[in-house]
Each structure stands twice: as structure tokens, then as C-alpha cells.
């Protein structure tokens, strides 16, 4: 319960910080809305209508009061409900993030186990090398390379676009393969490195040696004793990577032409659409907080000592 209550002031600080930073973006949206040929009087009337002439604190409190009821405001340019726009785009971004995390775990878990078991030998060196490469490669470069090879040269996957899950799970998943690989490689590298170190430390513990002395096979020891005890720092890294996935989707959605929150955020920043920017950041921050809350709660299952201390 304490963790949930701590989210309230944190969300307040996030929204206040974003509101202040947006005001520093060059340009006046009132001029854009009024039109290029608008007179000074028309621009001033637009500012008055939008509430831009009110003190900053009044503008923020007005937005915050509406946000508490679930109303994140209205886009300055499309007159679209910010809440509706985010809900419409959110499934795309979450789908990309889920695909990326799936790819990351499919790569990182076996790679981390192999590296930990064969530490210091060539499988470990190979896994470490690949992890370093995965961290070093820019996401947009990986995405463009995948499009060239797997969508243009060999038309296996779609190059751009998004298929809603309502049109078929298979088509939905197939269209997320390339974006998932693009984002998932960097996450896989981070998880691999963490799992490698954590699992290696666990495998040196006395209870592991006892299990070996009792005749248990290596695979059974890793699956039954090793992974669970090595999972706490790994789960922590996974929680941190959620924020990276949501942030990284901005570029990936542009590369693959996906109509997600990233694409919406870029357009909002370019137009200085204050309510839209504010809503996107607050919703994203809330999702990251909820994921981290779930990570914290998982510690009690993975490590009973944490549950007893809590």
C-alpha cells in the first residue's frame, strides 16, 4: 500500500516537471493555430481562448484538476481528446514493447545460462561479445538493416505498418517480429550480462554443491535451484528496461511506420501540443511505475526473506 501511495507525489512531480519543460519549447502554438496570415488581434484572441494568458500555475492546476477525473485535455490542433488519442495508440506501443521483451528473454535466458555455466571458456566469451555488440548497435540502424534484408531483399516480414490483433493473432504477431528484434537485442544484451553474473554467483553456493553431491544433474540444479535464486537482480533489470522499451519505441515506430505513442509524441512536440505531450508523458510514467510495482511485489515470491522483512 505504501508503494502505491508513493506513486501519487511522483506522478505530481513528473507532470509538473513536464509542464514546465514544455513551456520552454521555442514557438507559440497560438500563432500556428491562428494561421500564418492571422493578425496580432486574432493571435491574441486565440491565446485568450486557449487560456495561454492565464498564469502558469493556473494553467497547470486547471489541467491537473481535469486529469484527476481521467480527462487529460484536448489536443490544441486536432481537437481530439488526449485520453482517446492515447488509448487508441497505446495498444500499438504495448504490443511493440511486449514483442521486444519476448525476443529479449528468448535470447537472454539461454545465452545467460550458457555463459554462466561455461564461464571463462569460449561459450562465455562468445555470449559476452554478442552482448557487447547488442548494446553498441543503434536501434534505428538495426531496424533499417532488418527491413533491407528481411522485408526487401527477402520479403518474409512486412516492412512497415501495424496489424491489429483483432484482425488475427498470427498477422498481428508476424508484423511485430522486426520491431521486436530491433528493440529486443539491446534489452537481451543487458539481461544476458546480468543473468550471467548472478547465476554464476549462485552456482558457487554451498547448497548447489550439496545438490551436485546428491547426484542431481546440472540441468535440474539450474532449473530448480539456480534460476529462481538468481532471478531477483535479473527481474530488477527487466523492470528498468520497460522504461527503455517505451522510450525506444519512439524511434522504432518511426522506422517501421507504426501508429503508436512514439509517433504521436513526436508530432505533439513538433506542434508544441502541450496537452498531448503532458498526457503522453504522465501515462507513460504511470505504466513504468506500475511495472516497477509489479517487480517489487515479485521479490517476495523469488526471495522469501524479502517477504518476511516487508
Q: Which of 27, 97, 39 is nearest to 252 (CA)?
A: 97
Q: How high is the pLDDT of residue 119?
A: 81
By the 8 A CB rule, do 282 and 15 touch? yes
Its pTM stands at 0.83
Triad 45, 51, 57: Cα angle to 5°: 145
> Does residue 265 carry a pLDDT above 80?
yes
Sign of the torsion angle spanned by Cα atoms 68, 54, 84, 253: negative
Q: 79-93, 115-129, 222-236: which has the minimum mean pLDDT?
A: 222-236
Query: Which grid cell sits at 83?
Result: 485520453
Q: What angle do CA 134, 250, 159 make, to 5 degrees?
A: 75
Q: What's the rounded mean pLDDT across residues 2-17?
A: 80
Q: How far apart are CA 224 and CA 18, in angstroms?
A: 46
pLDDT of 77 above 70: yes
Is pLDDT at 44 greater than 80 in this prediction?
Answer: yes
Position 22 scores a pLDDT of: 77
d(CA 282, CA 271): 18
Residue 190: what pLDDT? 87
Name the nearest CA neighbour of 188 among 237, 146, 233, 232: 237
Q: How many CB atoms lie within 10 A of CB 284?
A: 20
Say how far apart CA 156 and CA 110 lie, in whole Å: 26
CA distance 44 to 53: 9
Convert the pLDDT of each residue in 141-197 to its tens digit. 889 999 999 999 999 999 888 988 888 899 999 999 999 999 988 888 888 888 888
Band of residue 308 on the pLDDT scale cut at 50, 70, 90: very low
Cα separation values, 79 from 54, 85, 265, Å? 20, 10, 16
**Predicted local distance difference test score (pLDDT) of residue 37:** 76
Average pLDDT, rounded, for the chain: 83
Question: Binning pLDDT at 50, 70 and 90, where does residue 66 land?
Answer: confident
What phi and psi values does residue 138 have, to the nearest 5 degrees?
-65, 140
Q: Please give the Cα distance from 163 to 6 (Å, whole number).
A: 37
pLDDT given at position 305: 55
CA atoms within 13 A of residue 268's CA, in its CB half-sphere: 25
| pLDDT reported for residue 122 | 85
Paired with 81 in beta bridges are 74
Query: Is there a contact between 278 and 15 (Cβ–Cβ < 8 Å)?
Result: yes
Amino acid at each position: 500500500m505504501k508503494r502505491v501511495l508513493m506513486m501519487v507525489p511522483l506522478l505530481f512531480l513528473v507532470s509538473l516537471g513536464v509542464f514546465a519543460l514544455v513551456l520552454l519549447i521555442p514557438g507559440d502554438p497560438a500563432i500556428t493555430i491562428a494561421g500564418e496570415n492571422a493578425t496580432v488581434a486574432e493571435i491574441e484572441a486565440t491565446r485568450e481562448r486557449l487560456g495561454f494568458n492565464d498564469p502558469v500555475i493556473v494553467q497547470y492546476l486547471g489541467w491537473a484538476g481535469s486529469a484527476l477525473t481521467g480527462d487529460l485535455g484536448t489536443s490544441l490542433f486536432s481537437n481530439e481528446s488526449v485520453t482517446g488519442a492515447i488509448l487508441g495508440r497505446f495498444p500499438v506501443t504495448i504490443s511493440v514493447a511486449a514483442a521486444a521483451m519476448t525476443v529479449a528473454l528468448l535470447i537472454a535466458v539461454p545465452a545467460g545460462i550458457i555463459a554462466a555455466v561455461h564461464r571463462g571458456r569460449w561459450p562465455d566469451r562468445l555470449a559476452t561479445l554478442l552482448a557487447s555488440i547488442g548494446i553498441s548497435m543503434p536501434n534505428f540502424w538495426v531496424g533499417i538493416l532488418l527491413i533491407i534484408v528481411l522485408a526487401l531483399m527477402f520479403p518474409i516480414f512486412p516492412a512497415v505498418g501495424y496489424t491489429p490483433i483483432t484482425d488475427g493473432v498470427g498477422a498481428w504477431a508476424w508484423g511485430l517480429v522486426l520491431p521486436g528484434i530491433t528493440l529486443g537485442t539491446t534489452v537481451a544484451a543487458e539481461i544476458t550480462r546480468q543473468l550471467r553474473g548472478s547465476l554464476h554467483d549462485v552456482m558457487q553456493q554451498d547448497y548447489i554443491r550439496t545438490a551436485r553431491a546428491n547426484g542431481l544433474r546440472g540441468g535440474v540444479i539450474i532449473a530448480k535451484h539456480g534460476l529462481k535464486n538468481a532471478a531477483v537482480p535479473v527481474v530488477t533489470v527487466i523492470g528498468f528496461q520497460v522504461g527503455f522499451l517505451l522510450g525506444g519505441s519512439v524511434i522504432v515506430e518511426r522506422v517501421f511506420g507504426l501508429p503508436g505513442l512514439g509517433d504521436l509524441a513526436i508530432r505533439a512536440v513538433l506542434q508544441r501540443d502541450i496537452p498531448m505531450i503532458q498526457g503522453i508523458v504522465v501515462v507513460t510514467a504511470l505504466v513504468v511505475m506500475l511495472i516497477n510495482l509489479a517487480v517489487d511485489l515479485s521479490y517476495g515470491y523469488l526471495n522469501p526473506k524479502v517477504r518476511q522483512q516487508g
